[in-house]
Amino acid sequence: MTTSDEVNTARHSTSSDSSSLINISSISSRQQANSPSSTNTSFEHVPDHAQKGDSGGGVNKGKKAKLLYCKSHVSIHPTSFNKDNISGYLGIVEVEHAVPHSLAPHLDSTAQNGGGRKTETLVTWVPDELLDRMDVEDREGYRRVEGRSNQSEHDGEEEDGFVFVSLPPPKGEKYAFSIPITSIYSILVYPPSLSHWYGSATFNLMGGISLPTLYFHDDESPLLATPHAPNTQQPLPRAQWGFPPFLSLLESRATVVRSRLLQSRKNMGAELWLVNPSKSDREVHEAGLEEEPEAIPPQRKPVLVNQPSEPPKTVPYPPKQSYPNTAVLNNVTPKQTLMTSLSNLTNLSRKAASQVLSHPLAQPVVPHLPPAVRSLVHVPGEWERTGRLPPKTGKASDVANEFESARLYLARWARVVAEEGEKARRDEIASQARLRRSSGSGSLSPMEDLESSLGVFSMLPKSYSKRPIPNPTRTPQHPITSRDWESFAAQGRDELYVRREIFKRGFTDSTESEEKKARREGWEVLLGIIPWSIGGLGGGELGKEKRKNQREEARKAKRQVYQGLKSKWKVEVNLSGGRDDWREEWHRIDVDCRRTDRNQSIYAVPSDAAKNGNHEKEGGGAATSLRRGSIADDGQGDEEEGGVAALNPHIAALRTILMTYHTYSPDLGYVQGMSDLLSPIYVVFDANEADSFWGLVGVMKMMESNFLRDQSGMKRKLSTLQQLISVMDPELYAHLERTDSLNLFFCFRWILISFKREFKFEQVIKLWEVLWTNHYSNQFILFVALAVLQSHRDVLIRYLTEFDEVLKYANDLSGTIDLDTTLAQAEVLFLSFKTLVEDLDKETQVEQKGKEGLRHRKTLSDTSGVTSKKEGDDSEENKKKERKVISEDLRELLNGWKE
- Per CB under 8 A, contacts with another protein among 721-750 are 743, 745-746, 748-749
Q: Site for another protein (CB under 8 A): which residue of 404, 731, 882, 888?
A: 404
What's the min distance (Å) between Cβ of 571 and another protein? 25
Site for another protein in 583-642 (CB under 8 A): 584, 587-588, 591-592, 595-599, 605, 615, 617-620, 622-624, 626-627
298 contacts another protein (rule: CB under 8 A): yes
33 contacts another protein (rule: CB under 8 A): no
Site for another protein in 450-469 (CB under 8 A): none
Q: Site for another protein (CB under 8 A): which residue of 22, 46, 348, 813?
A: 348
Q: Site for another protein (CB under 8 A): which residue of 240, 321, 358, 822?
A: 358
Cβ distance to another protein smaller for residue 171 or 583? 583
3-state SS class at 769 = helix
How far apart CA 282 and CA 186 sit, in angstroms, is: 12
Cβ distance to another protein smaller for residue 251 or 812? 812
Alpha helices (H) in 168-251, listed in sequence order: 222-228, 243-251
The answer to whether 250 and 181 are in contact (CB under 8 A) is yes
164 contacts another protein (rule: CB under 8 A): no
How far apart CA 437 and CA 426 sit, in angstroms, is: 16
Site for another protein in 769-798 (CB under 8 A): 798
Three-state secondary structure along 530-575?
Answer: CCCCCCCCCCHHHHHHHHHHHHHHHHHHHHHHHHHHHHHHHHHHHH
End-to-end CA distance of the chain: 70
How far apart CA 27 and CA 104 sit, in angstroms, is: 12
82 contacts another protein (rule: CB under 8 A): yes
C-alpha distances (whole Å) from 417 to each of 410, 412, 424, 794, 807 are: 10, 9, 10, 12, 20
Site for another protein in 317-346 (CB under 8 A): 328, 333-334, 337-338, 341, 344-345
What's the min distance (Å) between Cβ of 638 and another protein? 15
Strand locations in 269-414 (E): 271-275
81 contacts another protein (rule: CB under 8 A): yes
What's the min distance (Å) between Cβ of 210 and another protein? 13
From 272, 273, 275, select the one nearest 254 (Cα to Cα).
Answer: 275
Residues 6 or more apart whose Cβ sits within 8 Å of residue 850: none
Stretch that binds another protein, among 25-33, 297-305, 312-320, 390-398 (CB under 8 A): 297-305
Cβ distance to another protein smaller for residue 196 or 555? 196
State the pairing for strand pair 883-884/199-205: unpaired
How far apart CA 67 and CA 620 sit, in angstroms, is: 56
673 contacts another protein (rule: CB under 8 A): yes
How far apart CA 70 and CA 124 sit, in angstroms, is: 9
DSSP 8-state symbol, 210: B
From 648, 685, 709, select the one nearest 526 (Cα to Cα).
Answer: 685
Site for another protein in 244-273 (CB under 8 A): 268
Cβ distance to another protein smaller for residue 1 or 389? 1
196 contacts another protein (rule: CB under 8 A): yes
Cβ distance to another protein smaller for residue 236 or 430? 236
Query: How many binding residues for another protein (CB under 8 A)?
Result: 96
What's the min distance (Å) between Cβ of 364 and another protein? 15
How far apart CA 270 and CA 286 sit, in angstroms, is: 16
What's the min distance (Å) between Cβ of 891 and another protein? 26
Site for another protein in 517-576 (CB under 8 A): none
Site for another protein in 805-834 (CB under 8 A): 807-808, 811
The answer to whether 65 and 109 are in contact (CB under 8 A) is yes
Site for another protein in 687-726 (CB under 8 A): 707, 709-711, 714
Report the length, in residues, of the chain: 899
223 contacts another protein (rule: CB under 8 A): no
| CA Rg value for the chain | 39
Helices (H) and strands (E) in the chain, counts: 36, 12
What's the min distance (Å) between Cβ of 400 and another protein? 11
Cβ distance to another protein smaller for residue 178 or 679? 679
Stretch that binds another protein, among 547-555, 759-767, 799-807, 875-883 (CB under 8 A): 799-807
